[in-house]
Amino acid sequence: METLAYYNGKIGELDEVSVPFNDRSHWFGDGVYDATCAANHVAFALDEHIDRFFNSAEKTCIDPGIGKPELRALIQSLCKKVDCPDQFVYWQATRGGLARRKHAFPREEGDKACGGSGEQAAPPANLWVMIIPSEPADTTKSQTLLAVEDTRYLHCDIKTINLLPNVMAAERAAQAGYDEAVFHRNGRVTDCAHSNISILKDGVFRTAPTDSLILPGIARAHLIRYCEELGIPVDETAFTLDDLYDADEAILSSASKFCISVSAVDGKPVGGRAPELLGRLQDAAIAHFKRETVG
Catalytic positions, written as ranges: 159
Element (H, E) at 185: strand 180-185
Q: Are 68 and 51 in contact (CB under 8 A)?
A: yes
SS3 7: strand
Q: Are 48 and 147 in contact (CB under 8 A)?
A: no
CA–CA separation, 266 vs 254, rounded Å?
21
First to last CA, the chain: 19
Q: Are 270 and 146 in contact (CB under 8 A)?
A: no
Q: Residue 51 gets which letter from DSSP? A: H
CA–CA separation, 84 vs 102, rounded Å?
41
Q: In this structure, what is the dihedral angle of CA atoms 94, 98, 102, 106, given to the nearest 10 degrees? A: -80
SS3 62: coil
CA–CA separation, 158 vs 149, rounded Å?
19
